[in-house]
Structure 1
């Protein structure tokens, strides 16, 4: 029996010794662990970009017998990347006409009503595509905010055309 009791104590000693060795080995392993690092770059190329929008220009009711021209305005809004130079042009419209002399609205049948678009409230500088004596509006993008340009429209007096509704479609283009 004594041999059995001694064996139990020996087993407990062996277990204690084994546990101590295991803990010591774990501690040694943690101390021997190594790390390594690397770096990488993050890149992007921002392209110049612009967006353009415009409100409709509505002359309302035109009276050919009036002594004053019919004036109205529209707004062209441009938003471009910061530092991007741009120019805004207006075409001659979808009805026969010219940016140099006069644009035309059509009644959809055979009659046209002359009008013109300007860069200034005095109606002296025609807003076109930059050809001839027409000008464009230009600027430099600010990034987060849009830049607004007023289109000054005028229908000249004394155009005794067929009564009815007239229209045209202008394309505003931003070049950058």
Structure 2
């Protein structure tokens, strides 16, 4: 009889589980899954050093590499400030040694912000380009150390 009672009890418990859902109500809720993916970029330009020169009658050249590193493949451009001279078309180091930045070693376009005849390098994703610097020939020579501070601004 005990075996019969145990089986009957198990059967009743199982039936109660199914019977409990017969009158149950349901509800649901929707939700959104999202992500915002944003390109992240940095720019780095190495210093440009003309070294030591003995006269400024000739053109002196120097260069550096600008590197743009991006997490995605979006477009970018790099603008170059006028430096301390406030004139992108006629930069000078400490107002004494005239020079400029160019897209090529010879006959390149002046690097700037895209205004006043200057150009901005452009690209997609990560990349690098060369920044060329040239002094202006025929300048008076005054002993000293001269410098200028240029800001490269990356827009992406």
Give the greater-gyration-radius structure (CA): 1
Q: Return the match for 2:3 from 13, 16, 20.
A: 16
SS at match of 2:85: coil
Q: Report whether the alignment pairs 1:99 with 2:88.
A: yes
- Give the whole-Å Cα distance in 2 for the aligned partners of 1:82 and 1:163: 47
Cα distance in 1 between the residues matched to 2:46 and 2:9 = 80
Q: Deviations over 1:109-138 (max 9, x none)?
A: xx6211110011214311111112211112
**Post-superposition shift, 1:18?**
3.6
Determine if the alignment matches structure 1 residue 87 to structure 2 residue 67. Answer: no
1:73 to 63, 67, 78: 63
Match of 1:167 among 119, 129, 147: 147
| Deviation per residue, 1:60-89 (Å, 9 max, x gap) | 112216x64221111222234645333211
Matched, 1:150 2:130: yes
Match of 2:43 in 1: 52
The answer to whether the aligner puts 1:43 opposite 2:34 as a matched pair is: yes
Q: Normalising by structure 2, what TM-score?
A: 0.77
CA separation in 2, counterparts of 1:36 and 1:19?
37
3-state SS of 1:41 partner: coil
List alignment gaps of at least 5 residues for structure 1: 1-12
The separation in 2 between residues aligned to 1:33 and 1:64, in whole angstroms, is 100
Aligned positions, number: 152
User: TM-score scaled by structure 1?
Assistant: 0.69
